[in-house]
């Protein structure tokens, strides 16, 4: 059986060896003189990128789902969630199916707009972040209050289709809390709520 250990390359001539040494010296010189980004600056840039992705990801998500609430399909789609929610069930006693959906849509759009103002009005973004956190905390609670979230047809309990739809809101809740904390961090002390 042949050996799997690589054998060192043997240079054919002294010139080839000298060329290799010169090349290695050039690489070492380039590496030593290359501008480097301090580690801290790299982390800060990555953190800032993450903040804006989370922020505007939430804004877009809230605008889209808020706008969709104005359709009859969505109003009917959320009815089972709202009806079984210990937090929102009372709304159907006061308003129609579509009006409840419209109210929720307006709130989600308002929250999205408040969050979008974070670069120019961090205090308003804090209010939006608290609103987003409460919104997603409410939707996460649907995992516990909505019948049929757990599918018992498997060896172990698994999330049903509605459970799979709702579980993403745990991540959205985390993003909302993160964005709220970031808006508090950048708001001037005199501008904090």
Per-residue pLDDT tens for 98-107? Answer: 999 999 999 9
Question: Which helix (H) or strand (E) element contains residue 55?
Answer: helix 39-68
Tokens of 166: 């709702």
Instruction: State the distance between the two ends of the chain, measured CA to CA, in whole angstroms.
Output: 75
The answer on pLDDT for 42 being more than 90 is no
pLDDT for 24: 81
- At residue 191 the predicted structure's pLDDT band, cuts being 50, 70 and 90, is very low
pLDDT for 192: 47
Using a 10 angstrom Cβ sphere, with 0-12 exposed, 13-18 middle and 19 or more buried, the burial of residue 56 is: middle
Collapse the DSSP code of 156 into the 3-class scheme (helix H, G, I; strand E, B; otherwise coil) and give the result. coil
Query: Contact at 8 Å (CB) between 70 and 119?
Result: no
């Amino acid at each position: 059986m042949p050996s799997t250990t690589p054998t060192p390359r043997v240079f054919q001539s002294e010139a080839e060896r000298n060329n290799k040494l010169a090349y290695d010296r050039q690489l070492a010189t380039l590496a030593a003189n290359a501008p480097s980004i301090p580690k801290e600056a790299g982390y800060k840039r990555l953190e800032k990128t993450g903040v804006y992705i989370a922020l505007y990801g939430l804004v877009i998500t809230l605008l889209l789902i808020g706008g969709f609430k104005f359709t009859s399909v969505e109003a009917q789609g959320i009815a089972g969630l709202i009806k079984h929610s210990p937090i929102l069930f009372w709304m159907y006693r006061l308003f129609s199916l579509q009006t409840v959906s419209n109210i929720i849509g307006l709130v989600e759009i308002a929250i999205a707009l408040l969050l979008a103002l974070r670069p120019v009005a961090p205090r308003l973004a804090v209010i939006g972040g608290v609103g987003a956190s409460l919104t997603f905390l409410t939707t996460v609670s649907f995992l516990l209050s909505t019948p049929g979230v757990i599918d018992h047809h498997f060896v172990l309990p698994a999330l049903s289709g509605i459970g799979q739809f709702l579980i993403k809101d745990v991540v959205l809740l985390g993003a909302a809390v993160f964005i709220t904390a970031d808006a508090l961090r950048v708001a001037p002390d005199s501008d904090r709520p």
